[in-house]
């Protein structure tokens, strides 16, 4: 069984990819929670980082697939 520490980043990304668009109320709640945790962040910053996380993850998967194909040759 996987440990939380080992899966949380991948799980978070999977949830982001599967999530339907987040409502304005949900956005405000997320920002509120993050501010309560000490982060000075806006929804726009979160949104831009979310897009970056997903695109970096997709690039990484493509690179991993290409590396596997090359090593199989």
Q: What is the pLDDT of residues 5-53, one digit of tens each?
A: 888 888 888 887 787 788 899 999 989 999 999 999 888 888 777 666 5
Q: How do residues 50-73 score in pLDDT, each as one tens digit?
A: 666 555 555 555 445 445 554 554
Give the tokens for residue 15.
Answer: 């949830």
Give the tokens for residue 22.
Answer: 């987040």
Q: How many whole angstroms from its chain centre is CA 8?
A: 10
* Share in percent of the chain as helix, strand, coil (round to 5): 80, 0, 20
Question: Which H or E run includes 44?
Answer: helix 43-72
SS3 20: coil
pTM, to two decimals = 0.53
């Amino acid at each position: 069984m996987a440990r939380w520490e080992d899966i949380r980043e991948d799980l978070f990304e999977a949830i982001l990819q599967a999530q339907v668009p987040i409502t304005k109320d949900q956005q405000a709640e997320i920002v509120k929670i993050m501010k309560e945790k000490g982060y000075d962040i806006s929804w726009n910053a979160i949104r831009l980082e979310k897009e970056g996380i997903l695109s970096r993850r997709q690039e990484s998967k493509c690179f991993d697939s290409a590396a596997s194909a090359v090593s199989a040759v």
